[in-house]
Amino acid sequence: MNNHINKINFYHSIIFFILSSSLAIAIDQFEILIISPVVCLLLILSIGVSHGALDNQKGKRLIKLYNIKNSYFFYLIYSVIGLTIIIFWLFFPTISLIIFLIIASYHFGKEDIEFLIKNKNVSNLILFSLKGSLIIVAPLMFHFNETINIFKLLLIQNDNFFLFLEFIEFNQILSLALLTSLLVNIYYFINNFKIINILIFIDFISIVILNYYLSPLVAFTIYFCFLHSFRHSISLINELDKNNFKNGAYIFIKRAMPLTILTAVIYAISLYFLSNYYQLSDAILKVIFIGLASLTFPHILLEYLLKKNEK
């Protein structure tokens, strides 16, 4: 079954590369073709967040391991962590952003390649982070000013933070960071070599193409929805039914729907509130990234605790 999943991931990478290249060519040739922030939000709410929509099922497994009988305890803790992240962001936006970018780099690097990695060791903690840093570095490298404007919309007002970013941009440190990410990809390609490892480079090239031709928000949305979330969903589908992928997909959609809808409703309410104070596009950016931060922290913590206790 693992070979079947690897095959699916391989073809998925090829399709994602075709999608990325086609979008890049279309937007480069037709300047009037614009993917609006509203479309990005809808994609993230429907496809993007769905890969974490089974956290309630995982939470039930976790509380059993801790001999906690009431499942509402999990929902309470999960919600409190998410709400705490939002409140902390409002008071300490710069620190929150930096921590979020570091954790997101690790998360993206780990989830996008973990199915190829057999050796689980401490060095992967650093290597995953360096690999996943491409998602952060690429928009800064190719669309520096636009990315800075997004950071400012996320309530970042720390002059030293922006001076630091200008320093690394002016001194070509971003290019060095992108090269480092490439070297990590080469390492994973060579280490325990097999033909399917070629998808490591396919994904790398796709992400670079997206960020070179598309705006930071659109590039992130396409990556997050159609590479990161889709790949993680494949692993969840496999967990649900290791013998029948189609049945696993059906179960996944059925179980993911309630939390996906609930998340979308919360996002919609937040957007309605923020739109009274900010332009719609600015409000969408705040909802997307601060909202994702509030979901990412409890999601990663849950994954960690579950793997630690189920060993």
Phi-psi category of 172—alpha, beta or left, where left has phi over 0 and alpha has psi -120 to 50? left
Q: What pLDDT does residue 1 have?
A: 55
Contact 140, 170 (CB under 8 A): no
Instruction: Say what the pTM is.
Output: 0.94
Burial of residue 179, with CB atoms counted within 10 A of its CB: 0-12 exposed, 13-18 middle, 19 or more buried: exposed
Q: Per mean pLDDT, which of 26-35, 135-144, 294-303 is the most reliable?
A: 135-144
Residue 298 to residues 102, 211, 277, 280, 301, Cα–Cα distance (Å): 15, 28, 28, 27, 5
Check residues 35 and 41 and name the one with the higher pLDDT: 41
Q: What pLDDT does residue 301 have?
A: 92
Residue 283 to residues 88, 89, 290, Cα–Cα distance (Å): 18, 15, 11
Total domains, the chain: 1
Kindly report, residue by residue over 107-156, the tens digit of the pLDDT: 999 999 988 887 777 788 899 999 999 999 999 999 999 999 999 999 99
Chain Cα centroid distance, residue 6: 20
Residue 243 to residues 54, 249, 253, 255, Cα–Cα distance (Å): 20, 12, 17, 18
Contact 200, 113 (CB under 8 A): yes
Domain holding 110, by residue range, is: 2-29+37-309
Contact 260, 46 (CB under 8 A): yes
